[in-house]
Amino acid sequence: MRKKWRGNRFEALGRTLPVLLLAGFLSAGCEPGMDTGPAGAPSETGTQVSLLEFLETHQMVELTHPLGEETIVWPTSRPFEFETTFEGWTEEGYYYASRDFSGPEHGGTHLDAPIHFYEDRWTTDQIPLDHLVAPGAVVDVSESVAEDPNYRVSVNDLMDWEDAHGRIPSGAILMLHTGKGAHWPDAVAYMGTAGTGEEALAHLQFPGLHPDAARWLVEDRDVVAVGLDTPSLDYGPSTNFEAHQILFEANIYGLENVANLHELPPTGSTILALPILLEGGTGGPVRIIALVP
């Protein structure tokens, strides 16, 4: 079934970027003779710019760590495993290679579906498409994290960002740049421990989102997701994952172990976060890219 876009989300995206998935429809919907810009936007030149021409003016930034033997997972999760089922030349004379892989929903760069920490909320396959392609807002707290490895992003951090860059856009994917992504895939530097099992949890150290800030986002702003370059939305020592609970009750999903946030501007990007469409999933590996003018 085709998912419909909600009006307010569509407007938020339309102000930021002629969304890739709708570009052809927007262009096709223009009236004959209408002056258009990128994918149907007004243009001073009177020429219609194609999607490919539009992409030539934007940089694509990779925000995903590749899955492999060095992929960092939660200490109590099994690692990603790859098994070669066949590699070589067949009896029929052509080359063929295939592998099986297995691993956790919540390892590497991944999406947390709201049901991960709140009953009866969206599963991975239920998250609307217009929540997966959205304006990006990036809050840089790396200086604070350099002083406190267990720093929690506060309401003041978010309000200070708005003082400098304007209100967080409606329908945005909010990214928190903590600087921890620079340490991937060194598990000790990245999250405090390379240990596995329950005993390793006490040694986790990394920043996250303060529950008060999560509550402020839910009550006073209109974001669709919160992402960051750490293993969890909650900071390392957390035992009750309160920020998760607050966000997920409101069906605001999470993006964790995001890469290369230092390459994004505070505003102006559009983020595409497309997870594996796991039916009933509590999360899953996700390919995230950003388009930056």
Mean per-residue pLDDT, 220-236: 98
Averaged pLDDT of the chain:
87
Q: Name the β-bridge partners of 152.
A: 208
Cα separation of 186 and 183, whole Å? 6
In the structure encoding, which two tokens stand for residue 174, read together? Answer: 């909010």
Give start-end residues of each CATH 3.50.30.50 domain in the chain.
Answer: 61-77+104-292
Among residues 177, 99, 96, 94, which one has the least CA distance to residue 140? 177
Q: HSE (CB half, 13 Å, CA atoms) of 114? A: 19
Tell me the DSSP string of 133-149.
EEEEEEEE-HHHHHH-T
Q: What is the pLDDT of residues 57-105, one digit of tens each?
A: 899 999 999 999 999 999 999 999 999 999 999 999 999 999 999 999 9
Q: What is the pLDDT of residues 154-179, one digit of tens each?
A: 999 999 999 999 999 999 999 999 99
Cα separation of 110 and 244, whole Å? 14
CATH code 2.40.50.140 for 61-77+104-292: no
Q: What pTM did the predictor assign?
A: 0.85
| Contact call for residues 135 and 13 (beta carbons, < 8 A) | yes
Among residues 200, 201, 154, 160, which one has the least CA distance to residue 178? 154
- pLDDT at 7 > cutoff 50: no
